[in-house]
Structure 1
């Protein structure tokens, strides 16, 4: 009996040690990328970069094999003020007619404690690419009860300098520093 339990435990360990990374498709309906900044010190407005599209590959056994690629179409930009949305999409800021999307592609994923990750990657806005580090918390990895398939969820934060990306109008009076808060849910794609 003892030998059988030991063999079963070894097989279970071997199976988990060689578990493959899982690929998830970002769910844009349950993903928000919120940018927030100081407006002359009077208020701290925010805008949501909605309609996120991308893939998360997560390897729980070897987090360094994980990766993320996200596209944020600027048509989804929403500050809840239509005139301001148009101003943000204008050549004064994102110039969305010429550069219709921002992208993030990870270059390194590291464990940073229990349920925590550091994700380093390249953020590209207006064809300007700069490294950004996301502080990430794994919220949950399990079957999603409504979709009835595997899902994963993360929260992340980062701070970026908007002038580095050519979006520096009115800086520094309107803060150059922009805080990013991200929450995302991603699902294993449906079998075809």
Structure 2
């Protein structure tokens, strides 16, 4: 059996500590670096919830999000957001339902492969919140949607050393207005969105 001395263990931990050291993320917009940020797809989630016959609120999600964020913390109203969501990435806890949602009766991923959101107006509300209005395109239909956006935190990722900023956005749309009318009102018309977005600054 190999035995490590306490001094060797202490030295190993001391060498490893700087790699994992992290300045806590800030929620102060004044400390966020300006620039162009790209979506970190591995740490960005788009979730949705809809009423299932009035018995439960059923949730699913999308992945593989891409897009950019133009961020100017000193002039937050000038921020610009553009994201793309592959419709075929839709996922639920039911394989059968997931397949149906991709089909013609629902999202029709083959004909309409992307859902997009492009901001048109950013209205700051206090230090770390904003109302972001933009054009949402889904199922071939484009309509304005307003999201409530909250800053989660910003700083340097201790693992990849990239300047990162994260937001949570929530909003509601009526799916029938986008041509997705299957089983309305048995299955709820109101589609509640929650977006956990992580963005990495581009050098």
SS in 1 for 2:187: coil
Pairing 1:108–2:121 present: yes
Match of 2:166 among 153, 164, 179: 153
Distance across 2 between alignment mates of 1:176 and 1:75: 21
Distance across 2 between alignment mates of 1:166 and 1:91: 11
Any stretches of 5+ residues in structure 1 without a counterpart?
1-15
Deviation at 1:21, TM superposition (A): 3.8
Partner of 1:48: 61
**Structure-2-length-normalised TM-score:** 0.82
Partner of 1:32: 45
Please tell me whether Structure 1 or Structure 2 has the larger radius of gyration of its CA atoms. Answer: 2
Partner of 1:80: 93
Match of 1:180 among 163, 185, 193: 193
Work out whether residues 158 and 180 of structure 1, in 8 Å CA contact, stay in contact via their aligned partners in 2: yes
Work out whether residues 140 and 152 of structure 1, in 8 Å CA contact, stay in contact via their aligned partners in 2: yes
Partner of 1:57: 70
Distance across 2 between alignment mates of 1:188 and 1:133: 25
Match of 1:96 among 91, 109, 122: 109
Work out whether residues 21 and 66 of structure 1, in 8 Å CA contact, stay in contact via their aligned partners in 2: no
Distance across 2 between alignment mates of 1:96 and 1:31: 20
SS in 1 for 2:127: coil
SS in 1 for 2:51: coil
Partner of 1:129: 142
Match of 1:168 among 158, 178, 181: 181
RMSD: 1.5
Deviation at 1:20, TM superposition (A): 8.2
The count of aligned residue pairs is 173
C-alpha deviations, 1:141-167, integer Å up to 9, x for none?
A: 211111202110000100110000111
**Structure-1-length-normalised TM-score:** 0.86
C-alpha deviations, 1:58-98, integer Å up to 9, x for none?
A: 11100111011010001211112221111001111111111
Distance across 2 between alignment mates of 1:72 and 1:155: 16
